[in-house]
Amino acid sequence: MHQKTFQNPLKSGFYPDPSICRVGEDYYMVTSSFVYFPGLPIFHSRDLVHWEQIGHGIHSPEQLDYKNCETSLGLWAPSIRYHDGTFYIINTFVSEGREARRDNYIITAENPAGPWSKACFVEGADGIDSSLFFDDDGRMYYAGNYIVSDPVYEGHHGIYLCELDPETFQFKGERTVIWNGLKTRSKWIEAPHIYKHGGWYYLIVAEGGTFTNHSVMMARCHTIDGDYEICPRNPIVSHRHMSLMSEISVVGHADLVETQKGEWWMVLLGVRPYDGFGGPHFNLGRETFLIPVLWESDGWLRVDNENGIVNREERLPDLPVYLAAPSFFSDNFESDTLNFCWNSIHPAEKPFWSLTDRPGCLRLFLKEEVMHEICTPAFLGRRQQHKEFRMQFAMDFRPKEEYEEAGVALVQDDRYHYTFTVRQKDGARVLTLTEVKNHARTVLAETPLEQDGRIYLTVTATAEGYHFYYGFRDQEFRLLCKDADPTLLSSLVNEGFTGTYIGMYATSNHNASSNYADFDWVLYEA
């Protein structure tokens, strides 16, 4: 029997603010990444359902430096477009507080896999979550949001448009307000995307903030810079009328794509909450979802399914279906480059790892930086992508000083995380699980390690929490701690925009060290 449906989310784990474009039969998508490096992951698909990462928009510290940003700053929502042989990504770089400095830049590439150009900042471009539009005559436009200088209400923002010089990427002429939020009493209106269809210019925006009232709204006009008519059925997508404990919640921030067969689809973000710990929480961050949309006879969009919302199970696009990715990941570190899934926190001034010093292993050098500060620690992590999972690490590490430690970290940010590390205490190796909660550090469990040599560290997650195991041979699971509080890593607890990362960590705790930890392999399965 042929597959007829697919399961949302499209990209599980922390992949928010999706933007999409099509070139022929190929689809490309980019999402935000905040402080993680490389930044702006780029994906390719031919069926809109199965996606393979092919690169990053920000893959070199020389392109953009964001090493001092706190976790929910950095690279906010991007937008990807293709025009006349070139791919364009426009992105907002937030470096000095969520409501402070915001800079918008453009990078380009002939191949979406890279390399991408250095960031070209658009002077005078305030606001967040901007996008580009290329009209039929080749003119290039910038659409962005702005904060109204004399707001009538909290969250009184708007959308403006300005033509760009296609060579310098600078504003050309005066900018025009095309949607003042007061017109619809909209709050925190942002993430504008413009499309041309059926003789109209359509404007899609996110509205209502990134939580309970998140939604997608639209407007249209016969001229790109004219007085936009508001859709009478706004919001065209929202779960604001549903419980926060719905299977999928806080949906919004959308982009559209038309297939080569004339279907229209929408990518957007949402979360999958869990209960049982004092309210809805979500550790995976905001994820990418896909829904069908349809142009009605009156020229407005609607969600093209039975209930008009974002569903877990959805019908497949009318495209050839490709193989699904497995729900497990393993890395034996046999390549001379890191897998795309591994990220550091901020771009590193120089590499703190090696794939060649001990072939077949990832060597992680201890750094003085620590996880509980805004810095670039010796950490390489990947996204937690499932509510229930198991991740194993095979590590060789011999601490020489009591300030040296290496192992695993589960990270929401510098204020909320777990470290599961081997260190030295009274001349012997010990294994320690530490909780950092709003910067307060607590040792949850500790045990002496009676054997030298390799140690296998395992972290699992279930509905009850996180569980930590260790062993001295593969498939040996000695329990160190059970039911560690999962809400420590909830995006609602830290009030952030990211999701949980889990990965390899090594530190000398503000002391100089030449020591290192070798990781032979890593396995993630759900």
Instruction: Just list the catalytic residues.
Output: 17, 190
CA distances from 38 to 25, 102, 345 (A): 27, 20, 9
d(CA 347, CA 341): 15
CB 330 within 8 A of CB 58: no
List Cβ<8 Å contacts ≥24 apart for 30-33: 30/57, 30/78, 30/79, 30/80, 30/89, 31/78, 31/288, 32/75, 32/76, 32/77, 32/78, 32/91, 32/497, 33/58, 33/74, 33/75, 33/343
Nearest in space to 378 (alpha carbons), one of 435, 419, 415: 419
d(CA 102, CA 99): 8
Cis-peptide into 41, omega within 30 deg? no
d(CA 172, CA 166): 9
CA distances from 453 to 356, 399, 518 (A): 21, 11, 11
Q: Which residues pair with 367 in a beta bridge?
A: 507
Nearest in space to 505 (alpha carbons), one of 426, 436, 451: 436
d(CA 457, CA 450): 15
Nearest in space to 484 (alpha carbons), one of 434, 523, 446: 434
CA distances from 335 to 65, 297, 331 (A): 27, 54, 9
Cis-peptide into 115, omega within 30 deg? yes
d(CA 273, CA 93): 28
d(CA 201, CA 185): 22
Main-chain phi, psi angles of 359, to 5 degrees: -55, 135
